[in-house]
Structure 1
Amino acid sequence: EDLVFENCLKSVEESKKLVIADFSPRNFERLETFKEIAEKTSRQLVVTAKDAYMLEAMRRVDGVERLKDVKVYKELKDVRDKWERKIRNELKDNLIDPVNISKNPENYILCFSFYDLKHLLDIKPDNGAYIYSSSEAFDEEQDFDFIRLHNWLDRFNFEIYGFKMELIGGRLKPLFVKGYHASGHVSKDDLKWLIETIDPDTIIPVHTSNPEWFVENFKKVEVVKEGKSIEI
């Protein structure tokens, strides 16, 4: 996470325009990382109403105030759900609309995902920096999402950090740049090294869509079928 902080801080410092940081606010450590980056670069961090609602709900559970010094994006739309009206009323002093952001875009870091980029049509930035600080794509459908994401960013002349698009095998695929995300997942090579180092008596694959990989690469693998149990 320290390396993520250093790389993301450098990317924000290099930009004199709007910055978008794409990460999950449920990653509380990453949220704190970008709050510190915002403070060091004299910017304000802005989250969506949906993320603010989730962070406020978490505060009521664990008592941790995560929205301190954070602005909430005031989306332009006519019809709002009950939860959105509620959070906008509770955090009305923290709201900021696209008009104010567009006046001084260099003062903000927007916590937007791919599905929030539609708001750029209201903010109308002429360029900026986009930092991808989240998990890598793991299937073909997510590859397509990154192609669409890249097209959006290209439309608004954003400098991209954290991934790039390359033509591989006749089609565009995202390649992810190390140092912008500290994943909780592990590569196949690292996982194989870990298992061989530990040398377990039994391997039970869980939280994986490919248990066959373990069967093909290791002995003493127990694959638990759905609805069944195994005694350890």
Structure 2
Amino acid sequence: MDEVMLSIFEIFNYLTEVKKLYTELSLDEQVSILNEIKLFLKDLSPFKDEPVDCVLWKKVEDILPNSYNPNKVAPPEYKLLKHSILHDGYTQPIVTIKVDGKYEIVDGFHRAKVGALETIKKRTYGHIPITVLGNNNSNIKDRMASTIRHNRARGKHEVTLMVDLVKELIERGWEDENIIKELGMSKDEVLRLKQISGLPELFKNRQFSKSWNILKK
């Protein structure tokens, strides 16, 4: 028992010394070390395959928006979001994928936008909490699909941007079946978005029923 107590005492002294050294570091060094510790613990975690198991703090300027998010927040909701983060703090991280040393937003664009406001930025020392998706989302089509899944899970998306996104996925080689499966849409939803686009090329590979043929007398 005495040996155990001695070991605990030694560990406590060691941690106290580490804490002292840590407080003498610059803010950037402190944040970097914290992120490294979290990544180290993630490797040991039984939940390491879940992105939320490791929340990192990254600088605002390292967080990039994407060009395909069909989610829009109305002014009252955005105002409430700012109020919530201002008073309650960040309760949800921004979902990202690492691209060329930066972090592209998959979900949480408006939370990241609030984080760039001076009031919030000052409080978080210019950093934003993020989670990072795995390599299975490194492909642009997979990132687009992931963004839509996050938006649809909340029941929010803008039809016009959804049309553009479906069009782009089709142009990138996705079949209707891929869109239905990956975006959680029905066959009718995909067809309706194609119809709204008014672009005939979206139907170039579609087989129509012969029941529309006019019978000759």
Q: TM-score, normalised by structure 1?
A: 0.27
Select the structure that is richer in strand.
1
Higher relative contact order, structure no. (Cα contacts within 8 Å, ≥ 6 residues apart): 1
More helix by share: 2
